[in-house]
Structure 1
Amino acid sequence: MDTLDSLVHLCPPPVGKHARPGSVSGAGAGGTKLTLPLSHARLLETYGPGSFNDFLWIYEQGCPNPWLDITQRSRETTQLLSRKQIPEIRSLLSHFGSNPSLLIQWGATDNADEIFWIPEGDPEEWPTLIVEAGQLSFQIVRQNSLELLLGLLEGTLDCPFFPEEFLTHPPAFERWTGDQCDDD
């Protein structure tokens, strides 16, 4: 069983395929062309953009909702981070030959924690950077979005600044379908 199968088994997706499966290529945060990880495209084909446990939001490239669009969210967030004094995060990113303006935001939480890829090397091996709201703390995870979500939902991956309530209920996903998320 691959990671997507394990995630589907743990947290069944909404009924039916997502109508606008996430593109694996398009404009990046700085307007440059980028390729998204195929694992994230598979995630979106199965689940679509929306939220896990009404807390952790997953973004899609080209989503009509600007709050769930990878390109829009990345552009706005990286512009803000680029102007902030975040020496620990900048130091971490420099180890990857990166900086805040190159990050790609693929998710967030209701607490305003942000989830980014550090685009270096093979997209399937891009590290994930989880930044606590207010840039108070951060965590680097060397897993793709599917592996990260499965680990968080199984409880095998701990993010110290995610609330315990995130895992108090069985995993559930709500897909954004227009103006709202639907419980399918």
Structure 2
Amino acid sequence: MDADTADTTDIAEFAEPSAERPPAAVPVDWAAVEAWLGTRLPGDYRRLADRYGPLDFGRFLWIHVPCAQDGRFDYGDWLRAIHRETRIARRELPAGEHRPVHPEPGGLLAWGYTRATDVLFWDTSVSADPDAWTVVVRHRDGVPGGTPAPWQAYDLTLTAYLRQAVRADPDPAAPVRPLPGVFGRTAFLPAAAPWTPPEPVPPRLTEGERRVALETGTGLDALRLLTPPPARPHLGDGDWERTSGALGLALPGEYVRLMETYGAGCWNRWLCFPPPLGAPGRDLATHAEEILAGYEVLRADDPEDFPLVTWPRPGGFLPFAHTVEGDHLGWLTTGDDPDAWPLTVWPRHADQGPPLEQGLTDTLLRWQRGRLSTAGLYALDEEDDPVECARFTPWPGRAD
């Protein structure tokens, strides 16, 4: 098929619907979707979505269509995340090979993902006619049967690419290994529902407030402006005196003030502070004991890679927060003044580093501003807007 000719082929002509997970359409408001994207979409993709909904094709690649399922998938969030990751990844290419990414003019626009974590895009630069857009794939492990080039352009539209993927002949130059000629509803989206594009959101901060939040402000006041706290922080049902008694030491005043402002919850969907004042067995002391019991097992086997002395030993590491990847933030309880305890991160996927240079509030503020780079706390990309990225999500069930 010529790229400049609209492909009206139904994928059922070269693949069969799954009997186990039959495809099912999800209504799409294409006018709203295309207005949100700022571009029309290829006709073969629209027809596929209207007939079949979100698809698992060839038991290898997922074709993502505008839909949503609570807690599992949101089309807009997926596009934003994939395009952000792509903008970062393209910096690995020589300067002359950088590809624009949607919404940049002629940018790559994602439509699929594989079990090998390859990402499938349209190259919108090839034509003003979406029906002529061809496929570009970011191959994480190199081109199948070829050289390990991570980015590969194919002179195939979406439907032509899928047809080629289920070919019978093992052509090494083809885009993917031969796939089973079957397609069905995406398994992790059994209850996919229509997706509604988000309404435009006005800037949360004025230019003056942005300067304070990102540059000139300090301490808890600047942190509150950058990352608004909940109206009613959740700490637990106990009190600080009982928690300090269980720990056998006083807690840093900075931590107490921060928790009384924000309560338990997660920062940037990454760094989570559990409730410090839970009932006995669910408080900060119990949290620390459980984490450190695991650390001591690791330290017994490999003291060089796990060098921290742990609480309640003098100067021991006392964790109070963790990341979604299993890193832990805590104090080194050195000396008699809790407000002078240095912070450190026990990183799950890196060697133990030195203590952090600043206290808890300033560390959070630097991290939220995108100015802190340390193992265990992910860094913002240079193209991210810290104000848009900064968020605090209260502990589950405590969204008030």
TM-score range for the pair, normalised by the shorter chain length? 0.7 to 0.9
2:356 is equivalent to residue 137 of structure 1: no
User: Could you tell me how far 1:132 is from its partner in structure 2?
Assistant: 1.3
Matched, 1:118 2:332: yes
Deviations 1:49-103 (A, max 9, x none): 1001111111342235977x4211210111221232232542xx4xxxxx12432
2:234 is the alignment partner of 1:10: no
CA gap 1:108/1:125 in 2 versus in 1, 3 angstroms: same
- CA spacing shift, 1:23–1:123, aligned 2, 3 Å: farther
Q: d(CA) in 1 for partners of 2:359 and 2:237?
A: 18
Partner of residue 297 from structure 2, selected from 66, 83, 88 = 83
Q: Answer whether contact 2:367 2:379 (CA < 8 A) is retained.
A: no
Q: Which amino acid aligns with 2:347?
A: E
- The change in CA–CA distance for 1:124 and 1:21 in structure 2 (over 3 A counts) is farther
- Tell me how far 1:25 sits from its aligned partner: 4.2
Q: Which secondary structure state, in structure 1, belongs to the residue aligned with residue 389 of structure 2?
A: coil
Q: Distance in 2 between matches of 1:171 and 1:57?
A: 14
Residue aligning to 1:163: 378
1:74 aligns with 2:291: no
Alignment check: 8 A CA contact 1:14 1:175 kept: yes
Q: Helix, strand or coil for the counterpart of 2:290?
A: helix
Q: Matched residues in 2 for 1:34 and 1:89: separation?
A: 24
Gaps spanning 5+ residues in structure 1: where?
94-98
Amino acid of the residue matched to residue 55 of structure 1?
Answer: W
Judged with a 3 Å threshold, the aligned counterparts in structure 2 of structure 1 residues 48 and 32 are, in CA distance, closer, same or farther, namely closer
Distance 1:63 1:45, change over 3 A: same
Indicate the structure with greater helix content.
1
The 5-angstrom pairing of residues 47-58 of structure 1 reads 47-58=262-273
What SS does structure 1 have at the residue aligned with 2:294? Answer: helix
Q: What is the 5 A alignment of 1:36-51? A: 36-51=251-266
Moved more, 43-52 or 7-16: 7-16
Calculate the aligned-residue CA RMSD, in Å.
3.1
CA positional deviation for 1:162: 3.2
Could you say if the C-alpha distance between residues 19 and 132 of structure 1 is closer, same or farther in structure 2, counting changes exceeding 3 Å? closer
- Using the size of structure 1 for normalisation, the TM-score is 0.77
Partner in structure 2 of residue 103 of structure 1: 317
* Partner of residue 96, structure 1: none
Are residues 64 and 110 of structure 1, via their aligned partners in 2, closer, same or farther at CA, if it must alter by over 3 Å?
Answer: farther
Alignment partners' CA distance in 1, 2:225 and 2:375: 25
Aligned amino acid, residue 265 of structure 2: G
Q: Which residues of structure 2 form unaligned runs of 5+?
A: 1-216
Contact 1:107–1:115 (Cα < 8 Å) also in 2? yes
Instruction: Evaluate the alpha carbon distance shift between residue 147 and residue 76 of structure 1 in structure 2; reply closer, same or farther with a 3 A threshold.
Output: same
**Does the aligned pair in 1 maintain the 2:235–2:276 contact within 8 Å?**
no
Kindly provide the amino acid, as one letter, of the partner of residue 277 in structure 2: G
Native 8 Å contact 2:237 2:279 kept in 1: no
Larger relative contact order, structure 1 or 2 (CA cutoff 8 Å, min sep 6): 1
Amino acid at match of 1:14: P
Looking at structure 2, the residues matched to 115 and 146 of structure 1 have their Cα atoms a distance apart, in angstroms, of 13
CA distance in 2, matches of 1:5, 1:21: 26
Identity of aligned residues (%): 23
Residue type matched to 2:231 in 1? V
